[in-house]
C-alpha cells in the first residue's frame, strides 16, 4: 500500500489542494485517486469514507526518522497543519454540504464516520482506521490530528505499553484483522474501540 488520498469524485478539488501542496512541499509521496460516490452495504465503522487518507509504512518510517526525541515534536509540520485544516473544513465549514442517506430502518449512529478517516498499519501489519466523527469543536479536530500522529509514533517506538497495543490487548478478539480507533474529546486522546464487544452489549440490551 502506498500513501494515498482517496476521495469521492464530487469532492471539490479546491478542498484538497492545500494538503496536496503541503505533501509536495515536504517531499511526501502522496498519490491521489477518486472513486464514484455510491451506496455501500456496511456499517459506518467499516465504510470507506468520502475522503480517506492511507498512511503507508514508508510514510511512517520517514515520519519516525524525521521526528526528534522530544515526544511533543511532530515531523512534517506543513502536512500536519494542512491535514488539520482539511478536517476542520470538512466537519465544520463544509459539513452542511455532505448528507448521509441510510437505507432500511436502522439509524446511523454517527454520520461523521462516513465523511473522513485515516488508515494506517500497526506494528504487525494489520490495518488501523482512525475514525473522525461529528460533534467536535474546531480546536478538538486540530487536537485529534496532532494526537493521531503522536499515537502512531508512540506505537512504533514502544509497541507494548502504548495506547494502541494496550487497546488491542483488551479486545474480545485481539487477533482481529482490523483495528478501529476513535477520538475521546474530553481526554484528548485516541483509543481502540471494539466492534464485537459493542455488538454483544447491544444484543444484551435488546434481549427481552
- Answer whether residue 154 shows pLDDT above 60: yes
Average pLDDT over residues 182-190: 93
| Residue 154: CB atoms within 10 Å | 17
Per domain, the residue ranges of the chain are 4-206
For 165-179, b/e burial (b = at least 16 CB within 10 A) is bebbeebeeeeeeeb
DSSP assignment of 70-127:
-TT--S-HHHHHHHHHHHHIIIIISGGG------SSPPPS-GGGGTEEEEEE-TTS-E
Q: What is the pLDDT of residues 85-143, one digit of tens each?
A: 999 999 998 876 776 555 555 554 567 888 999 999 999 999 999 999 889 999 999 99
**pLDDT for the residue 36:** 87
- Answer whether residue 204 shows pLDDT above 80: no
Amino acid at each position: 500500500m502506498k500513501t494515498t488520498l482517496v476521495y469521492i469524485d464530487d469532492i471539490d478539488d479546491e478542498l484538497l489542494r492545500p494538503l496536496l501542496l503541503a505533501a509536495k512541499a515536504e517531499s511526501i509521496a502522496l498519490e491521489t485517486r477518486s472513486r464514484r460516490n455510491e451506496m455501500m452495504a456496511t456499517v459506518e465503522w467499516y465504510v470507506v469514507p468520502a475522503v480517506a487518507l492511507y498512511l503507508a509504512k514508508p510514510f511512517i518510517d520517514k515520519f519516525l526518522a524525521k521526528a526528534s526525541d522530544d515526544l511533543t515534536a511532530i515531523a512534517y509540520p506543513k502536512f500536519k497543519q494542512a491535514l488539520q485544516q482539511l478536517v476542520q473544513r470538512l466537519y465544520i465549514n463544509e459539513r452542511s454540504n455532505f448528507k448521509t442517506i441510510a437505507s432500511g430502518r436502522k439509524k446511523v449512529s454517527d454520520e461523521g464516520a462516513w465523511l473522513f478517516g485515516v488508515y494506517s498499519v500497526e506494528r504487525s501489519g494489520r490495518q488501523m482506521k482512525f475514525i473522525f466523527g461529528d460533534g467536535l469543536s474546531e480546536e478538538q479536530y486540530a487536537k485529534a490530528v496532532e494526537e493521531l500522529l503522536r499515537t502512531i509514533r508512540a506505537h512504533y517506538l514502544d509497541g507494548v505499553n502504548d495506547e494502541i497495543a494496550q487497546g488491542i490487548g483488551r479486545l474480545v478478539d485481539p487477533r482481529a484483522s482490523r483495528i478501529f480507533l476513535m477520538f475521546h474529546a474530553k481526554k484528548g486522546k485516541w483509543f481502540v474501540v471494539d466492534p464485537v464487544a459493542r455488538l454483544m452489549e447491544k444484543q444484551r440490551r435488546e434481549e427481552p
